[in-house]
Structure 1
Amino acid sequence: MATHVEHSRLQKAPNRSRVYSPDILPLLQTVLADLADIDFAFEKSLETIKHSPADEERKSEMIASLWRQHREQRAPYIRELAALRERIETTFI
C-alpha cells in the first residue's frame, strides 16, 4: 500500500522537463541580428571618421558622439535580451 501512496505523489509532482515558449528563439535571433546590424553600422562609421580628413580634435568629438548614439541605439535591445534571458531562466528554474 505504501507503493500506491508513492505512486500517487509522483503523478502529482510538477513536470520537470519544461520547454521554453516557441516564440523565444525567433525573438532571440531577431534581437541578436538587430544588435549585429547596429554594431556593424557603428564600426563602419567609426572607420569612416578615423580615415576622414578632419583634424584630430574634431575626430575625437565625432567619435564620442558616435559612441553615445551607439549606446542609445543598443539599449532597448540589451533590455530585450535581459527580458528574454529572464523568461528562459524562469522556465528552467
Structure 2
Amino acid sequence: MSKPQHGPSALDRLVVGATRRFDLSALLQETIRTLSNLDFEYRHELERLSSSRTDPVLKKQIAESLMIRHRERRQPYVMLVAELQKHLASAATGNLRATG
C-alpha cells in the first residue's frame, strides 16, 4: 500500500517556485549551525541552573521546562535538515543519471 500523498513541502514550494537558484548545501550548513547554537545555548542555561542556589525541586522543574523548550525550538530545524538532505540526495542521484 502506498502512503497518502500530501501537498509539496514548504521547501519544495520554495525551491520549485524560486526565480533564482538556491544553494541547498549552504542552507543545510546554516541550519546545522543554528542547531548547534541552540544546543550550546541549552547547555549553557543548564550549567547556569546547576550552579544557582535555587531550591532543588524548583531546579528540576526549571530543567524540565528548559528541555521542553529546547526540543520545541529544535524540531523545525531538525525537520528542515532532513528535508534538505532528501533534496540534496535526490539532486545528486539526478546528476549521476544525467552524466552516467
Give the secondary-structure state (helix, strand or coil) at the position aligned to 2:25: helix
Residue 30 of structure 2 corresponds to 30
Superposition TM-score, scaled by structure 1 size: 0.73
Aligned ranges for residues 1-93 of structure 1 at < 5 Å?
23-93=23-93
- TM-fit CA distance, 1:29: 1.2
Give ranges in structure 2 of 5+ residues lacking alignment.
1-20, 94-100
Alignment check: 8 A CA contact 2:49 2:59 kept: yes
Q: After alignment, is 22-31 or 61-70 more displaced?
A: 22-31
Give the secondary-structure state (helix, strand or coil) at the position aligned to 2:52: coil
Residue 97 of structure 2 corresponds to none
- TM-fit CA distance, 1:91: 2.1
Aligned length: 73
Alignment check: 8 A CA contact 2:25 2:88 kept: no
Structure number with the bigger relative contact order (C-alpha 8 A, sep ≥ 6) is 1
Structure 1 runs of 4+ off > 2 angstroms?
none
Aligned identity (percent) is: 30
Q: Distance in 2 between matches of 1:46 and 1:69?
A: 12
- TM-fit CA distance, 1:22: 6.0
Give ranges in structure 1 of 5+ residues lacking alignment.
1-20
CA RMSD of aligned residues (A): 1.4
